[in-house]
């Protein structure tokens, strides 16, 4: 519905230049919490003019989850469309436009990207106010210019409570396993505020972007935890078979870890990491200086695309 400025006489100028940049066919999307832990709105800052691999990975691998972006898998038949307007028709035949239609999105993940346990990961969207940016097949990113101020591109506000993901198994029809997602945007979203960050301004192929993967740490009884160390199995949280999770290997760089004695509010230095304990690919033993029995410890880890689900344990 148009917001008319009563101080302006005449129509808006409707000409265009010879070159306009519009979104291409949508491929997938970036998703982020609308607000970070301080209450500030998340956005993509374009002021640096440098959109390389490091720029995008800083958003995807941000240790602050309230500021971290996620990139969803490629979608088939991904459609973003504005809904039918809300009109009232009188008996005289006169029609009044009461409100614009609400925009919506739909698409499907197929094959490996429709892996059933990912459904719960996707549906975490329902737990936050979220915004999205559309990545298209021409490697552009589309978002919102806020109040006509260029230099930053904000996400399109999704009505996160409208988000659904429906799983359908493979059939002989034939049809691959797929998950279909549907969502609405918030009514405030105005499609006319969407602008493009073109691929020509970037020095990295954004189709290569990948989100982080959760690693689960499980304390082992043998060797038993002590005041100077612990043995953990590190496994990919949702990936594997019904028999066991997939092992996470190569987590031996001490600098990728943060160990904290929560009781004393002090950082603790890990002095050694031994992998493949007992011949198990997923098993690691960690050593540190003596801590007091009963102290609560917290272990964190981030490396490349992998993040340990924060592990808290008590020194025996």
167 and 255 housed in the same domain: no
* pLDDT value at 84 more than 80: yes
Per-residue confidence (pLDDT) for residue 16, from 0 to 100: 86
Q: 200 and 62, same structural domain?
A: yes
Percent of the chain with pLDDT over 90: 89
273 domain-assigned: yes
149 and 267 inside one domain:
no
Note the pLDDT of residue 9.
Answer: 79
Same domain, 96 and 190: yes
Give the pLDDT confidence score for residue 166 in this predicted structure.
95
* Same-domain check for residues 104 and 147: yes
182 and 143 in one domain? Answer: yes
Summarised one tens digit per residue, pLDDT across range 267-282 is 999 999 999 999 999 9
> What's the mean pLDDT when you consider all of the chain?
94
Give 11's pLDDT tier (boundaries 50, 70, 90).
confident
Domain boundary at 208, 231, 266, which?
A: 208
Does 12 reside within a domain? no
pLDDT of residue 1: 60
pLDDT tens digits, one per residue of 163-214? 999 999 999 988 889 999 999 999 999 999 999 999 999 999 999 999 999 9
Q: What is the pLDDT confidence band of residue 224, given thresholds at 50, 70 and 90? A: confident
Q: What is the pLDDT of residue 118?
A: 95
Q: What's the confidence (pLDDT) of residue 30?
A: 98
**Domain for residue 220, yes or no?**
yes
Q: Give me the pLDDT at residue 4, please.
A: 74
Whether 57 and 191 map to the same domain: the answer is: yes
Indicate whether 144 and 198 sit together in one domain. Answer: yes
In terms of domains, do 55 and 192 share one?
A: yes
Q: In whole angstroms, how far apart are CA 241 and each of 83, 218, 235?
A: 41, 17, 12
What's residue 6's pLDDT? Answer: 79
Segments forming the whole domain that contains residue 119:
26-208
Please say which residue of 183, 208, 233 terminates a domain. 208
pTM of the full predicted structure? Answer: 0.89
Per-residue pLDDT tens for 51-83?
999 999 999 999 999 999 999 999 999 999 999
Query: What integer pLDDT is reported at residue 13 of this predicted model?
Result: 85
Number of domains in the chain: 2
With CA atoms as reference, report the closest residue to 247 among 257, 255, 237.
237
Residues 78 and 171 occupy one common structural domain: yes
Asked if residue 125 and residue 186 are part of one domain, the reply reads yes
Residue 1 placed within a domain? no
Is there a single domain that holds both residue 88 and residue 124?
yes
Q: Examine residue 6 and state whether it is found in any structural domain, yes or no.
A: no
Q: How much is the pLDDT for 137?
A: 98
Pick the last residue of a domain from 187, 208, 229: 208
Q: Round to whole Å and give the CA distance between 58 and 69.
A: 9
């Amino acid at each position: 519905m148009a917001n008319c400025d009563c101080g302006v006489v005449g129509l808006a100028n409707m000409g265009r230049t010879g070159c306009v940049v519009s979104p291409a066919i949508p491929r997938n999307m970036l998703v982020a919490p609308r607000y970070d832990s301080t209450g500030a709105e998340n956005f993509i800052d374009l002021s640096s003019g440098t959109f390389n691999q490091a720029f995008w990975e800083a958003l995807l691998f941000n240790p602050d989850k309230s500021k971290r972006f996620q990139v969803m898998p490629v979608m088939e038949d991904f459609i973003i469309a504005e809904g039918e307007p809300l009109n009232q028709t009188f008996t005289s035949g006169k029609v009044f436009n009461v409100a614009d239609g609400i925009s919506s999105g739909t698409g499907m993940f197929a094959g490996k990207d429709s892996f059933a346990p990912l459904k719960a990961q996707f549906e975490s969207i329902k737990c936050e106010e979220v915004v999205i940016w559309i990545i298209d097949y021409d490697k552009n990113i589309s978002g919102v210019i806020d109040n006509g101020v260029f230099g930053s591109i904000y996400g399109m506000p999704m009505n996160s409570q409208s988000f659904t993901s429906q799983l359908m198994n493979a059939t002989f029809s034939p049809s691959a396993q797929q998950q279909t997602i549907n969502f609405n945007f918030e009514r405030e979203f105005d499609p006319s505020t969407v602008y493009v960050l073109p691929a020509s301004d970037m020095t990295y192929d954004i189709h290569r972007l990948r989100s982080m993967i959760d690693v689960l740490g499980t304390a082992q009884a043998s060797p038993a935890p002590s005041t100077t160390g612990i043995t953990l199995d590190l496994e990919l949280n949702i990936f594997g078979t019904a028999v066991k999770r997939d092992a996470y290997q190569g987590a031996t760089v001490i600098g990728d870890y943060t160990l904290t004695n929560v009781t004393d509010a002090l950082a603790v230095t890990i002095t050694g990491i031994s992998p493949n304990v007992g011949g198990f690919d997923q098993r690691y033993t960690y050593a540190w200086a003596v801590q007091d029995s009963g102290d609560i410890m917290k272990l964190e880890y981030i490396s490349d695309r992998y993040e340990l689900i924060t592990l808290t344990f008590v020194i025996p």
